[in-house]
């Protein structure tokens, strides 16, 4: 299936809309978790630092500077790998005790909070640390106390959550894209089945129906409704066709009787030239009506497929030669040039020779009828790519593009005044014969003027 066509389906666009909404929801949820967790951990660290600062300040007030040094030294010695950071300095920032070598030279934030990085911390093997600390000045001696904690765990948690957020969004987008493609492919496949059925029906196969999966979804319901509509249309068209066929069949008998009576009357009227001429005109009109009704019945009989014997092989070379010999004489009578180009050897197709000859004769008759005096008609038979191809090219007025499909309809004629003899059923019979033989007929323009009829037939056993 065409990927570009798949990406332009409404199902895929709807899936992408849901992907955007769902991804936004996931992003908002992860952001909320991130801010809540990181905020909670940062608050815990600051609360711990404040508690230690107050506790050490209380120790200083109780036991003085020597006692405070002992307390800090004891805490460092007990947990040398702990994340706590201590530094007690003289008023001039000369270190007295602590696991920092020197006072960090960083600007102080409101409330005495400091954020700095260290590449080494005394008693620890780590090479890089992020520190969150608070400075405290001892009131009596002017000593400076710094208490902090290593916030690597907080930073690691932040990175982990951001990493999880990125992967979560990537997986959400990927799964949503995959789901959208799968949904679109499934939907487009079922829609394409309906479209293909409709195209087959448009080309004339009214027996086609939309397949039903039997799962009762909306596509099955749509297919059932379309099939019911097609059944109704086929019934109506069959009724109309049957009415036309019945009329043709029922009127052919009385018209034949009428013509016979006119023939008898013509034999009795011998002394009145005016009556003889009138009878001749009526007989001609009766013959035209009989030809029309016979053509309708012939088309109905061909469309039923009852006359085709698929075990009979027809040599198209001989058939085309016979048709060319017949219409070459008619073309010369109209001062038209008639040429042929036939492949040597046998080109055999499966079908009814009489029907194939009648269809080819109708096509040649149209070419002779509509090509003006001095025009040219060319008939060719070739065998390209395991098919037989009959081409009839004339230099007549041609057929407008909008009428190329309509000319195959019953009673359709380009000449609105209908002054030219004919009943508009010739090409309808040709199409019926072509469909009966599973072949194709198309009309092409012959530049600068005229029309080219191409009839493609399948060879016996593919050639």
Residue 377 has pLDDT above 70, yes or no: yes
- pLDDT tens, position by position, 384-426: 878 899 999 999 888 887 777 777 776 666 655 345 555 567 7
What's domain 3-156's architecture?
2-Layer Sandwich (3.30)
Q: Return the percent helix, strand and coil in the chain, to nearest 5.
A: 55, 15, 25
3-156 and 313-462 share one fold: no
Q: Could you please state the CATH topology (level 3) that the domain comprising 218-304 is classified under.
A: Helix Hairpins (1.10.287)
Give the C-alpha separation, 155 to 316, whole Å.
87
- Which residue is associated with the tokens 């092989």? 313
Q: Mean pLDDT across the stretch 71-88?
A: 81
Residue written as token pair 């230690």:
52
Residue 322, C-beta contacts closer than 8 angstroms, at least 6 positions apart: 357
Minimal CA–CA distance to 458: which of 372, 356, 334? 356
| Residue range 335-358, pLDDT digits in tens | 999 999 988 778 888 888 888 888
Tell me what pLDDT residue 389 has. 92
204, 231, 407, 436 from 237: Cα distances, Å: 12, 10, 19, 19
Q: Give pTM, 2 decimals.
A: 0.46
CATH number attached to the domain at 313-462:
3.30.565.10
Per-residue confidence (pLDDT) for residue 418, from 0 to 100: 44
**pLDDT band at residue 122, thresholds of 50, 70 and 90?**
very low
Nearest to 132 by CA among 54, 74, 70, 47: 47
Nearest to 445 by CA among 397, 409, 406, 413: 397
Q: What is the pLDDT of residue 241?
A: 65
| Angle between helix 426-436 and 273-304 (nearest 10) | 20
Domain boundaries, the chain: 3-156, 218-304, 313-462
* 368 vs 239, residue with greater confidence: 368
pLDDT band at 256 (very low <50, low <70, confident <90, very high): confident
139-191 pLDDT, tens digit per residue, is 777 888 888 888 877 777 788 888 888 887 788 788 877 877 777 777 777 77
- pLDDT averaged over the chain? 78
């Amino acid at each position: 299936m065409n990927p570009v066509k798949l990406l332009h389906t409404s199902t895929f666009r709807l899936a992408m809309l849901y992907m955007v909404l769902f991804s936004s929801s996931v992003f908002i949820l992860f952001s909320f978790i991130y801010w809540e967790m990181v905020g909670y951990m940062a608050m815990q660290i600051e609360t711990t630092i404040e508690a230690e600062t107050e506790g050490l300040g209380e120790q200083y007030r109780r036991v003085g500077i020597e006692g405070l040094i002992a307390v800090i030294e004891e805490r460092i010695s007990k947990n040398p790998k702990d994340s706590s950071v201590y530094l007690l300095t003289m008023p001039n920032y000369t270190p007295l005790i602590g696991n920092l070598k020197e006072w960090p030279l960083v600007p102080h934030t409101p409330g005495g909070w400091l954020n700095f990085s260290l590449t080494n911390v005394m008693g620890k093997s780590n090479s890089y640390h992020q520190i969150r600390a608070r400075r405290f000045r001892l009131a009596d001696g002017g000593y400076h106390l710094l208490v902090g904690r290593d916030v690597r765990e907080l930073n690691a948690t932040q990175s982990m959550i951001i990493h999880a957020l990125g992967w979560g969004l990537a997986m959400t987008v990927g799964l949503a894209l995959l789901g959208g493609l799968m949904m679109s492919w499934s939907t487009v496949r079922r829609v394409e089945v309906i479209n293909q059925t409709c195209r087959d029906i448009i080309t004339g196969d009214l027996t086609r129906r939309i397949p039903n999966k039997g799962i009762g979804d909306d596509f099955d319901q749509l297919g059932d409704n379309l099939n019911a509509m097609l059944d109704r249309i086929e019934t109506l068209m069959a009724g109309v066709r049957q009415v036309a066929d019945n009329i043709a069949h029922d009127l052919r008998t009385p018209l034949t009787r009428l013509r016979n009576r006119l023939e008898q009357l013509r034999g009795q009227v011998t002394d009145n030239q005016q009556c003889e001429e009138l009878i001749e005109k009526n007989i001609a009109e009766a013959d035209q009506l009989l030809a029309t009704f016979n053509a309708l019945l012939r088309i109905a009989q061909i469309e039923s497929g009852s006359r085709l014997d698929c075990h009979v092989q027809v040599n198209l070379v001989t058939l085309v030669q016979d048709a060319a010999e017949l219409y070459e004489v008619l073309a010369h009578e109209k001062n038209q040039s008639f040429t042929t180009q036939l492949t040597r050897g046998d080109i055999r197709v499966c079908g009814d020779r009489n029907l194939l000859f009648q269809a080819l004769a109708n096509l040649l008759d149209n070419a002779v009828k509509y090509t003006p005096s001095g025009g040219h008609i060319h008939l060719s038979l070739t065998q390209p790519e395991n098919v037989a191809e009959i081409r009839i090219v004339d230099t007549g007025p041609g057929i407008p593009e909008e009428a190329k499909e309509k000319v195959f309809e019953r009673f359709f004629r380009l000449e609105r005044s209908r002054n030219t003899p004919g009943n508009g059923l010739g090409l309808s019979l040709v199409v019926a014969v072509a469909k009966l033989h599973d072949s194709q007929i198309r009309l092409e323009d012959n530049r600068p003027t005229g029309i080219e009829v191409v009839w493609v037939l399948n060879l016996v056993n593919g050639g």
